[in-house]
Amino acid sequence: MARQDRLRRISQSHDRRRSGRAIRLWRKLAIWVLYPRTDRGFWYGFAIDLLWPVLMAVARWDFRGGSQVPTRGGALLAVNHLSHVDPIVLVSYTLANGRVPRFLAMKELWGRTVVGAPLRGGRHIPVDRKASGIEAYRAAVEAVQRGEIVVVYPEGGFAEHSDGWPRAARTGVARMALETGAPVIPVGQWGSNHLLPPTARRPTLFPRATLRVLAGPPVALEDLREGRIGRKALQEATDRIMDRITEQLAVLRGEEPPTRSDPQEPARPAADLQPPAVS
C-alpha cells in the first residue's frame, strides 16, 4: 500500500496546477516506475509497458480527479467515448491512480493474434454482439463484486461525425450499479478524438494532442437501490450518470453542454451491451 499511496500522491498532486496544463515529464516517468505490475497477466502487462511510453511521447496528458478512483474494492468508471484510443488513455489514467482496469470488448477480438492474448490474460470481459449480452453483464457484475475496477462506456460506441457531447446511453452500467451497490465514478475525457479522430486510420502527431481526463465524485444512486430495480429506476440512474459525465466533459471543454431535448431519448436496454471495437 505504501507504493500505491506514493503513486497516488505523485499523480494527484498534478491537480494543483492550472487546468489545461500538461503533466510534467518527471511526474509521468515516476508514475511509470510506480504503477501496478501485478494482477495484470503477462500479455496485458506487456502491452501496458509497451504502449505507456508511446502514449507518453505522442501526446500531452492532463489527468485530474484521481482521488475519486477508489484505492480498493469494486467500482464502475463510466466514461464518454470519442475514439478507438480511449481504452489506452483510460488504462493510463487508472494505473496512474494505482488500479488495474478491466474492460468489456467484442468477443471476436479474443481470437485475434495481437489483441487476443492481452484481453484473455487481463481478465477482460468478452461481449457477444450477436447475443443479448447477458453473459457479459453477469461477468462484469462478478468482476465488480470481487473488487475489480470495470470501465464502461455507457454510449456503447462513438459516432464518426458528432460534436463530441455524450449521446443516448444504454442502461447496463445503471443496472450493474444498482445490483452491486458499487460506486459509479463519472469520468469525462477530451483530446483522444484529436489524437486519433474517429474517421482517421493514423494518429495526428502534430500538433501534439492533450489527453484530458477528469473524474468526479460518485453518482448518488442510493435512493434508487431500494426495492425492485424497474425500468423507471434504470432510466433515472442512467440519466444521472450521463448528466454527471457531461458535467465533467463540460469542465474539460470549457463550454456549456447542449440543452437536453425534451422528451429525452430513452436509454437503451441493459442487455444490449455492445462495446466499441478495440483496435
Q: What are the tens digits of pLDDT across the range 155-214?
A: 988 888 889 999 989 999 999 999 999 999 999 999 999 999 999 989 999 999 999 999
Work out the number of other CB atoms within 10 angstroms of the CB of residue 217: 12
Which candidate, 51, 28, 48, places its Cα nearest to that of 38? Answer: 48
In the chain, at which residue ranges do the beta strands (DSSP E only) sit? Answer: 59-64, 75-79, 101-106, 125-127, 149-152, 184-190, 209-215
Span 92-106, mean pLDDT? 95
pLDDT score for 261: 58
Residue 101, strand partner residues: 149
Rg (CA), the chain: 18
> Does residue 279 surpass a pLDDT of 80?
no
Span 30-56, mean pLDDT? 95
Whether 186 contacts 195, CB under 8 Å? no
Share of the chain above pLDDT 90, in %: 75
Whether 44 contacts 121, CB under 8 Å? yes
Share of the chain above pLDDT 70, in %: 92
Report which DSSP code applies to 130: T
Span 28-57, mean pLDDT? 95
- Predicted TM-score (pTM) of this structure: 0.91
For cell 493474434, what's the residue?
113
Tell me the DSSP string of 152-213. Answer: E-TT-S--SS--SS----BSHHHHHHHHH---EEEEEEESHHHHS-TT-SS---SSPEEEEE
Whether 66 contacts 45, CB under 8 Å? no
Average model confidence (pLDDT) for the chain? 90
Span 135-151, mean pLDDT? 95
Chain Cα centroid distance, residue 75: 11
Q: Which grid coordinates are listed for 247? A: 458535467
Which candidate, 152, 222, 165, places its Cα nearest to that of 193? Answer: 165
pLDDT confidence band for 106 (50 / 70 / 90): confident
The Cα-based distances of 205 to 98, 202, 209, 210, 225 in angstroms read: 28, 9, 7, 11, 46
In this structure, the strands spanning 184-190 and 209-215 are: antiparallel
- pLDDT 10s digits, 212-259: 999 999 999 999 988 788 999 999 999 999 999 999 999 999 999 988
> Does residue 271 surpass a pLDDT of 50?
no
pLDDT score for 227: 76
Task: Please list the helix, strand and coil fractions of the chain in percent, rounded to the nearest 5, in that order.
Answer: 45, 15, 40
